[in-house]
C-alpha cells in the first residue's frame, strides 16, 4: 500500500479543507498626515472581529510600526472595511510595507493584540507622502525653488509653512506663516514668497484630492526650511509682531550672514572696511592714517612726516609731507606742518588756532540706570563695545530733564558723540541707526537695556582757542578744554593766562608747563636769549661780545671783525655738514627703494613667464630675494596647484582614446600571478611587498596572460605610475618635482630634458621615450605605412591621416583635459569595461556631449607617483581638505554603482564618505550604471516580491565601521575623521537614506524605454528620481503594476530620528584608493 501512495496515488476524495484569510497579492494605500481607512479587503471567510496592522518587513516577527493611528490595529465590523480605533493621523515614514491579518482565537490563546499574532500577509501597504528628512536653506530676497522627494507624490500636492518649534510635528503648531504652495511637475515647489524675511519653518504637505483648505489637512512634514540673511547683512529683530528683516552691514563692521549668527561684528580699533556690506573679518583693514604692523598684528598710526589717504593694509604710509612733520595718523597733506619753522625769527605757535568738530546727539532710554558708577560703566561700554572709539572720538552723557519711575529704574539720557575726523562721520552715523545700535547692545555680554528714542544727525562746528593758546598737533581737538599754551608761552598761575617766556628762558612744546632756563657754562656764565617767548634751546646764546670756548672752560671775546652777538660763525659749520649728510642719506634711500621695486618687477615677470611656458621646475625652485617676492611666488604656486588639482580628464578622451590605448599598454606588459590570486605586473608586486621582496616574488611567480578586462588597480602601475606611465619624467606643477599625474601629463607641453640632465638622472625621459608618451596619449601614432621607412629612422612617426596632426602637437594636450565639472565616486576594483560602459550609457540617456564633460577621477587626477610609489603619507585633515574643496568646486557627483545587490560600492569607505559629504552639502548626485550588459542591476531584483524587498533593504544598508580601502591607512584616517566630527551611526543613516532614494529612482528609471533621448542636452542632467516619482502611481492596481514593470519591489523603513548632525567643513579628500 505504501508503494501506491506516490504523487499519482491519491485518487479518492476524503473531504474538503477551507483556508480562511485574506488574499496575499493586494495593495492598499494611505497618505501621511491624513486619516487612514482600509476598504474592500478581499479574501476567503473574512468576518467581523478580524484585525489588520502594518509592519516594516515580515508578518509575525516585526514590531508594530511607530506612527500608526491609535493602538496600531485596525478593526472591522464586516470583514471587508477596516478602521483604526482612533481619529489620529497616519505618521509612519513614506514607503512600502507589509499589511498583516489576524483573527482572534481564544481557544488557541491568540488575542490579536500583539504584533506576533499577525502571521498572515494580506499584501502591501503604501504610505504615500514626502520622506520628510530634507533640510533646505534659502537666502532672503533670492529665488527659492526646492524639490521634495517621497513616494506617491504628484503634481498638485500642496505645502504650507508653519513656525519651527523644534520638533517634526505639523500638528502642534496652529499658526501658518505662508502658503499654500502648489506642487509643479517633478516635485518642484516655488517658495520664493517665503524669502521676504529671515525665518525657520517646517513645510507641511497635503496630497492632491484632499480639500487642503484647513490647517489640519497639512499633517505630514515634508522638509525644514531656513531663510537666512545674505553674507554682508545682519538680522534686525522687529517689534510689534512684525517679521525680522535683513539689513546691510554698516561700514567698519562685518556680518557673516546666516540665521543664528546673523550679527554685526565691529572691526578692531583703528580698522574699518572699504565699503558697507562686508561679510568677513578679513575685509577689516587699517583706517586712513594707519599702517599695518605685522609684529603687532594690527594697525598703528603713520609716523610723523607721512600720511595715508585710503583704507588698506599697507605696511608703509606712502604719502610724504611737503613739510617735515604731520599730525597723528595723518590722512593727507592738510595734516602736514613744518616743525623746524619755530627756529626762525617768526616763531611758530606749534599748534592750530582752531579745529573742526563733528557732533551728533541721541536720546537713550536706559532701563538699568543707577548711580555715577553705572553712568561711567555705560560710557565705557558705549565707547569700547558699540563705537570702537579711537583717540579722535569722544562721548558725553548727561541726564535728561524727563525721568522715569524710580521703581522701574528707567531714565532718559542724552548722548553726544563727537569726532574730529570727517571720514569717521559716515561710520558713526551708521552705528547710530536704531536697528544697528539695538543689535550691538543686545548681542553684547553687558546687561544694558538701551534703545535710541531720537537721533539728531552730525553737525559741523569750529572751535577757536584764546590768545596764545593752540590745539596740539599730535592730538585731536574735540573741545576748548584741549587748548594749551603755545610754544614759548607758559601758564600764569594767578590769571591762568598764557604769558611769553622771559629773556633767558624757552619752551619747546605746546602745553601748560613752565618755561625752562637757559643753561650755565662751566665757568659760571648764564646764557641768555635775544627776545622773549623763545621756543628752542638753540635760542640760548652768549652775552654780547662773547663766545663759548670750544673746550667749554671759559668765555672769551669774539675776534675782531666778527659780530659780537650769538657766538662765532664757525660754530655753524657742523650744522651744514649734518644737512649735507642727511641729504645724501635721503638720496641713497630713494635709490635703494627704486632698485628694490625694479628687482621685484623683474622677479614678477620671470615667474609669469615660467607659468606661461609651463616651466614648473623653475617656477618652484627660483629663489626669492625677500619676503615680498616670497609671498608673490607662494601665491603664484598656489594658483597653479589649485588649477592642477581641479583639472579633470575629458570624457571624450576616456571613451575614444583611453579605452583602446590602455588595453594596448596592458597587452604590452608581462603579467604574473600573485599569491592572493591577483594578476599583476612587476610594479604591482613591488608596491605590495617592497622593492626587494617584490622582486623576489616576481621572479618566483609564473607568467600569465594579460587580463582582457583589467580593473583599475591592476592598470595603475602600467599607466598611472611606474617607469612607463604617461607622467613619468614630466615636472609636476603641484610641487615642481619629476613625475606627475595623468591629467597633468595630458595637459602639458613640456620638452624632454637636455642630454646633460638625462645623463645625470637616469630615471628621466629621453627624447625617444618622450615621443612614446606623446604617442600613448594620441598625439603621435605610428601608422602601418610608416613602419620600416627610412625617414622614420626607428622613431615614431606622425599619422598624417589622423585628426591630430603635427601642427596640433602643442595644443592637443589641452583638448584631453580641462576644468572638472563632474566628480566620479567609484571603487578601484571596478573593471575598466564596466565603468566605461556606464559612462557611455549615461551620456547617451542624458544627451550629454562627452566633449563638454571633464571628470575629476582620482585615478587620473591624483599624483599616483607620490601616493602609491613614494608612499607619501596624508593626515585626516589633508584628506578632508583635498576632498571637500574639490567636490564643492566641481559641483556635481556621479555615483558609479557596479550593481544593486551585493554592491562593492557600499563596502568601500571612500565611496560611503563621498556620498555622505555630497548629501550633507547639497551637491547634486546622479547614479550611473552599466544596466545593459551587467547582471545584478534592475533585472536581478525581479524574481519575487519578498526577494526584491529584502534585497533592496540589504543593498541600501551601510556599515562604515566595517568599510575598507585599498590603502588601509586611508580607512583608519577617514574613520578617525568621522568619529571626531560625528558618529558611524549618523553617517550610516544619512548614506542609507540617500542610497534608498537613488536606488528607487534608478530601479524605476531603468525599466523605461530609453530609445528616445531627451530633446536637448540640458544641464544639469534630468534626475532619474523624477521619473521614479511619476511611476509610483497612487492607484491601487497601478502601484503593483509599476513594481512588476520596473522590477522594483520597494520596501522601506526609515528611522524617525533626526538627520545627521555632522556638518562637513570646507575640506575634502582625493577619493584615493576607494
260 versus 374: the higher-pLDDT residue is 260
At 955, the pLDDT band (50, 70, 90 cuts) reads low
Q: Which residues of 413-430 are buried (b: 16+ CB within 10 A; e: fewer)?
A: bbbebbbbbeebbebbbb
Beta bridge partners, 394, equal 418
At 695, the pLDDT band (50, 70, 90 cuts) reads confident
Work out the average pLDDT over 302-312: 89
Percentage with pLDDT > 90 across the chain: 16
Among the residue ranges 244-253, 581-590, 690-699, 1013-1022, the one predicted with the least confidence is 1013-1022
Query: Which residue from 712, 649, 651, 658 is spatially nearest to 842, judged by alpha carbons?
Result: 651
Work out the average pLDDT over 336-348: 53
HSE of 646, CA atoms in CB hemisphere, 13 A: 16
What local confidence, expressed as pLDDT, does residue 386 receive? 61
Report the alpha-carbon distance of residue 905 to residue 882 in Å, rounded: 21
At 223, the pLDDT band (50, 70, 90 cuts) reads very high
What local confidence, expressed as pLDDT, does residue 569 receive? 46
What local confidence, expressed as pLDDT, does residue 947 receive? 47
Query: Which residue from 273, 424, 289 is spatially nearest to 360, judged by alpha carbons?
Result: 424
Among the residue ranges 25-29, 237-241, 705-709, 889-893, the one predicted with the least confidence is 237-241
At 872, the pLDDT band (50, 70, 90 cuts) reads low
pLDDT in tens, 993-1027: 777 776 666 555 544 433 333 332 323 454 333 33
372 versus 116: the higher-pLDDT residue is 116
pLDDT in tens, 744-780: 988 875 444 444 333 333 333 333 344 444 444 443 3
Work out the average pLDDT over 662-671: 87
pLDDT in tens, 569-593: 444 445 556 677 788 888 888 888 8
Indicate yes or no: pTM above 0.85: no
Query: Which residue from 900, 906, 908, 912 is spatially nearest to 949, judged by alpha carbons?
Result: 900
Name, in order, each residue with C-beta under 8 angstroms of 112's C-beta and a sequence gap of 6 or more.
Answer: 51, 73, 102, 103, 104, 118
What local confidence, expressed as pLDDT, does residue 73 receive? 92
Q: Which residues of 669-701 are buried (b: 16+ CB within 10 A; e: fewer)?
A: bebbebeeeebbbbbbbbbebeeeebeebbeeb
What local confidence, expressed as pLDDT, does residue 259 receive? 82
Report the alpha-carbon distance of residue 380 to residue 382 in Å, rounded: 6
What local confidence, expressed as pLDDT, does residue 671 receive? 87
For residue 444, is pLDDT > 70? no
Chain center to CA of 556: 83
For residue 1071, is pLDDT > 50? no
For residue 735, is pLDDT > 70? yes
293 versus 384: the higher-pLDDT residue is 293
Triad 638, 639, 640: Cα angle to 5°: 90
At 816, the pLDDT band (50, 70, 90 cuts) reads confident
CA distances from 912 to 134, 473, 563, 829, 904 (A): 19, 67, 98, 15, 11
536 versus 875: the higher-pLDDT residue is 536
Chain center to CA of 307: 38
Q: DSSP letter string over 366-425? A: ETT--SHHHHHHHHHHIIIIII---TTEEEEEEEEEEE--GGGT-EEEEEEEEES-GGGH
At 945, the pLDDT band (50, 70, 90 cuts) reads very low
CA distances from 955 to 871, 897, 991, 1060 (A): 34, 11, 12, 21
For residue 340, is pLDDT > 70? no
What local confidence, expressed as pLDDT, does residue 550 receive? 56
Q: Cell triple for residue 843?
A: 551620456
Report the alpha-carbon distance of residue 33 to residue 129 in Å, rounded: 8
For residue 277, is pLDDT > 60? yes
Work out the average pLDDT over 317-329: 82
What local confidence, expressed as pLDDT, does residue 1044 receive? 36
Q: Cell triple for residue 75?
A: 478593526
What local confidence, expressed as pLDDT, does residue 557 receive? 52
Q: DSSP letter string over 805-874? A: -GGGHHHHHHHTEEE--EEEE--TTSBHHHHHHHHHHHHHHHT--GGG-EEE-HHHHS-HIIIIIS----
Average pLDDT, the chain: 75
For residue 667, is pLDDT > 50? yes
Length of the chain: 1074
For residue 260, is pLDDT > 90? no
At 933, the pLDDT band (50, 70, 90 cuts) reads low
For residue 900, is pLDDT > 60? yes
pLDDT in tens, 193-218: 888 888 888 999 999 988 888 888 89
pLDDT in tens, 988-1002: 777 777 777 766 665
What local confidence, expressed as pLDDT, does residue 662 receive? 87
Among the residue ranges 23-37, 107-121, 444-458, 615-629, the one predicted with the least confidence is 444-458
Work out the average pLDDT over 704-726: 86
For 124, list phi and psi in degrees, rounded to 5.
-110, 145
Work out the average pLDDT over 175-191: 82
pLDDT in tens, 520-535: 765 566 788 888 888 8
- Helical segments of 424-529, H only: 425-431, 434-443
Work out the average pLDDT over 163-176: 76
At 722, the pLDDT band (50, 70, 90 cuts) reads confident
pLDDT in tens, 49-76: 999 999 988 898 778 888 899 889 999 9
At 97, the pLDDT band (50, 70, 90 cuts) reads very high
Report the alpha-carbon distance of residue 310 to residue 286 in Å, rounded: 9
Query: Which residue from 744, 819, 732 is spatially nearest to 777, judged by alpha carbons?
Result: 744
CA distances from 239 to 233, 245, 451, 667 (A): 19, 11, 13, 77
What local confidence, expressed as pLDDT, does residue 877 receive? 62
Report the alpha-carbon distance of residue 502 to residue 521 in Å, rounded: 19
> Reduced to 3 states, what is the DSSP secondary structure of residue 129?
strand
What local confidence, expressed as pLDDT, does residue 166 receive? 76
919 versus 1005: the higher-pLDDT residue is 919
Cβ atoms of 348 and 338 closer than 8 Å: yes
Among the residue ranges 356-370, 503-517, 962-976, the one predicted with the least confidence is 356-370
Amino acid at each position: 500500500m505504501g508503494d501506491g501512495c506516490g504523487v499519482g496515488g491519491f485518487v479518492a476524495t476524503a473531504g474538503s479543507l477551507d483556508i480562511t484569510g485574506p488574499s496575499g497579492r493586494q495593495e492598499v494605500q494611505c497618505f501621511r498626515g491624513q486619516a487612514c481607512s482600509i476598504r474592500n479587503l478581499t479574501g476567503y471567510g473574512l468576518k467581523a472581529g478580524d484585525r489588520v496592522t502594518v509592519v516594516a518587513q515580515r508578518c509575525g516577527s516585526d514590531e508594530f510600526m511607530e506612527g500608526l493611528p491609535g493602538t496600531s490595529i485596525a478593526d472591522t465590523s464586516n470583514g471587508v472595511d477596516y478602521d483604526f480605533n482612533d481619529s489620529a493621523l497616519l505618521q509612519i515614514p513614506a514607503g512600502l510595507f507589509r499589511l498583516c491579518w489576524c483573527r482572534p482565537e481564544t481557544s488557541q490563546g491568540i488575542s490579536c493584540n500583539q504584533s506576533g499574532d499577525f502571521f498572515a500577509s494580506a499584501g502591501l501597504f503604501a504610505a504615500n507622502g514626502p520622506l520628510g528628512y530634507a533640510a533646505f536653506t534659502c537666502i532672503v530676497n533670492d529665488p527659492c525653488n526646492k524639490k521634495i522627494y517621497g513616494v506617491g507624490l504628484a503634481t498638485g500636492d500642496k505645502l504650507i509653512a508653519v513656525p519651527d518649534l523644534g520638533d517634526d510635528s505639523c500638528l502642534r503648531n496652529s499658526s501658518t506663516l505662508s502658503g499654500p504652495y502648489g506642487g509643479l511637475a517633478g516635485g518642484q515647489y516655488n517658495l520664493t514668497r517665503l524669502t521676504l524675511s529671515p525665518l525657520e519653518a517646517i513645510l507641511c504637505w497635503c496630497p492632491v484630492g484632499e480639500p487642503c483648505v484647513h490647517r489640519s489637512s497639512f499633517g505630514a512634514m515634508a522638509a525644514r526650511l531656513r531663510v537666512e540673511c545674505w553674507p554682508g547683512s545682519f538680522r534686525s529683530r522687529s517689534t510689534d509682531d512684525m517679521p525680522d528683516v535683513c539689513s546691510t552691514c554698516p561700514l567698519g563692521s562685518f556680518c557673516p550672514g546666516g540665521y543664528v549668527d546673523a550679527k554685526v561684528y565691529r572691526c578692531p580699533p583703528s580698522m574699518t572696511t572699504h565699503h558697507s556690506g562686508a561679510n568677513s573679518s578679513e575685509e577689516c583693514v587699517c583706517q586712513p592714517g594707519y599702517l599695518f604692523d605685522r609684529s603687532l598684528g594690527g594697525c598703528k598710526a603713520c609716523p610723523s612726516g607721512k600720511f595715508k589717504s585710503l583704507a588698506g593694509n599697507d605696511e608703509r604710509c606712502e604719502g610724504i609731507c611737503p613739510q617735515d612733520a604731520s599730525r597723528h595718523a595723518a590722512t593727507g597733506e592738510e595734516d602736514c606742518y613744518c616743525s623746524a619753522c619755530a627756529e626762525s625769527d617768526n616763531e611758530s605757535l606749534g599748534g592750530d588756532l582752531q579745529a573742526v568738530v563733528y557732533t551728533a546727539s541721541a536720546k537713550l532710554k536706559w532701563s538699568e540706570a543707577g548711580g555715577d558708577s553705572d553712568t561711567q560703566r555705560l560710557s565705557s561700554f558705549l565707547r569700547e563695545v558699540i563705537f570702537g572709539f579711537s583717540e579722535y572720538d569722544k562721548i558725553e552723557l548727561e541726564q535728561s530733564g524727563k525721568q522715569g519711575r524710580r521703581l522701574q529704574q528707567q531714565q532718559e539720557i542724552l548722548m553726544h558723540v563727537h569726532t574730529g575726523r570727517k571720514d569717521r562721520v559716515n561710520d558713526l552715523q551708521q552705528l547710530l541707526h536704531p536697528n544697528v545700535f539695538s543689535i550691538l547692545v543686545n548681542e553684547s555680554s553687558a546687561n544694558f537695556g538701551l534703545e535710541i528714542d531720537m537721533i539728531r544727525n552730525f553737525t559741523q562746528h569750529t572751535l577757536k582757542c584764546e590768545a596764545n593758546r593752540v590745539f596740539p598737533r599730535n592730538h585731536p581737538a574735540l573741545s576748548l578744554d584741549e587748548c594749551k599754551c603755545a610754544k614759548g608761552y607758559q601758564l600764569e598761575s594767578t590769571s591762568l593766562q598764557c604769558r611769553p617766556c622771559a629773556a633767558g628762558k624757552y619752551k619747546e612744546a605746546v602745553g601748560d608747563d613752565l618755561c625752562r632756563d637757559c643753561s650755565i657754562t662751566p665757568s659760571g656764565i648764564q646764557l641768555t636769549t635775544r627776545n622773549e617767548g623763545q621756543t628752542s634751546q638753540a635760542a640760548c646764546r652768549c652775552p654780547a661780545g662773547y663766545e663759548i670756548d670750544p673746550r667749554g672752560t671759559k668765555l672769551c671775546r669774539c675776534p675782531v671783525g666778527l659780530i659780537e652777538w650769538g657766538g662765532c660763525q664757525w660754530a655753524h659749520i657742523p650744522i651744514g655738514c649734518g644737512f649735507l649728510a642727511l641729504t645724501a642719506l635721503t638720496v641713497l634711500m630713494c635709490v635703494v627703494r627704486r632698485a628694490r621695486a625694479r628687482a621685484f618687477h623683474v622677479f614678477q615677470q620671470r615667474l609669469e613667464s615660467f607659468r606661461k611656458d609651463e616651466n614648473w621646475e623653475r617656477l618652484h625652485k627660483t629663489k626669492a630675494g625677500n619676503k615680498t617676492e616670497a609671498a608673490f611666488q607662494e601665491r603664484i604656486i598656489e594658483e597653479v596647484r589649485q588649477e592642477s588639482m581641479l583639472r579633470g580628464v575629458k570624457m571624450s578622451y576616456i571613451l575614444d582614446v583611453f579605452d583602446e590605448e590602455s588595453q594596448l599598454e596592458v597587452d604590452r606588459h608581462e603579467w604574473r600571478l600573485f599569491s592572493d590570486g591577483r594578476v599583476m605586473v612587476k610594479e604591482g608586486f613591488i608596491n605590495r611587498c617592497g622593492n626587494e621582496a617584490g622582486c623576489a616574488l616576481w621572479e618566483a611567480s609564473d607568467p600569465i596572460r594579460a587580463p582582457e578586462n583589467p580593473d583599475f588597480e591592476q592598470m595603475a602601475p602600467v599607466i598611472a605610475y611606474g617607469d612607463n606611465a604617461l607622467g613619468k619624467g614630466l615636472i609636476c606643477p603641484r610641487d615642481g618635482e619629476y613625475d606627475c599625474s595623468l591629467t597633468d601629463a595630458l595637459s602639458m607641453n613640456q620638452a624632454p630634458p637636455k642630454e646633460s640632465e638625462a645623463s645625470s638622472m637616469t630615471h628621466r625621459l629621453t627624447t625617444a621615450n618622450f615621443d612614446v608618451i606623446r604617442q600613448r596619449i594620441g598625439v603621435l601614432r605610428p601608422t602601418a605605412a610608416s613602419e620600416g621607412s627610412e625617414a622614420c629612422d626607428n622613431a615614431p612617426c606622425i599619422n598624417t591621416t589622423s585628426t591630430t596632426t603635427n601642427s596640433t602637437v602643442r595644443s592637443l594636450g589641452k583638448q584631453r583635459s580641462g576644468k572638472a565639472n563632474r566628480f566620479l565616486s567609484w571603487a578601484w576594483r571596478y573593471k575598466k569595461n564596466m565603468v566605461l560602459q556606464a559612462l557611455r550609457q549615461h551620456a547617451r540617456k542624458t544627451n550629454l556631449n562627452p566633449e563638454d564633460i571633464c571628470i575629476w577621477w582620482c585615478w587620473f587626477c591624483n599624483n599616483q607617483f607620490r601616493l602609491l610609489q613614494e608612499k607619501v603619507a596624508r593626515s585626516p585633515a589633508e584628506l578632508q581638505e583635498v576632498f571637500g574643496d574639490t567636490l564643492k568646486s566641481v559641483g556635481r557627483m556621479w555615483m558609479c554603482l557596479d550593481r544593486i545587490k551585493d554592491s562593492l560600492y557600499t563596502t568601500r569607505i571612500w565611496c560611503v564618505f563621498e556620498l555622505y559629504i555630497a548629501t550633507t552639502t547639497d551637491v547634486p548626485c546622479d547614479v550611473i550604471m552599466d544596466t545593459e550588459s551587467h547582471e545584478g542591476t534592475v533585472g536581478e531584483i525581479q524574481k519575487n516580491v519578498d526577494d526584491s524587498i529584502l534585497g533592496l533593504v540589504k543593498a541600501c544598508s551601510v556599515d562604515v565601521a566595517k568599510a575598507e580601502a585599498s590603502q588601509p591607512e586611508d580607512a583608519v584616517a577617514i574613520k578617525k575623521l568621522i568619529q571626531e566630527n560625528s558618529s558611524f551611526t549618523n553617517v550610516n543613516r544619512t548614506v542609507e537614506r540617500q542610497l534608498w532614494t537613488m536606488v528607487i529612482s534608478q530601479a524605476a528609471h531603468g525599466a523605461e524605454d530609453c530609445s528616445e533621448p531627451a530633446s536637448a542636452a540640458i544641464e544639469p542632467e534630468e534626475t532619474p528620481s523624477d521619473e521614479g516619482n511619476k511611476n509610483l502611481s497612487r492607484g491601487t492596481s497601478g502601484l503593483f503594476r509599476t513594481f512588476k514593470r520596473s522590477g522594483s519591489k520597494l520596501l522601506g523603513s526609515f528611522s524617525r530620528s533626526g538627520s545627521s548632525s555632522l556638518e562637513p567643513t570646507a575640506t575634502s579628500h582625493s577619493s584615493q584608493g576607494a
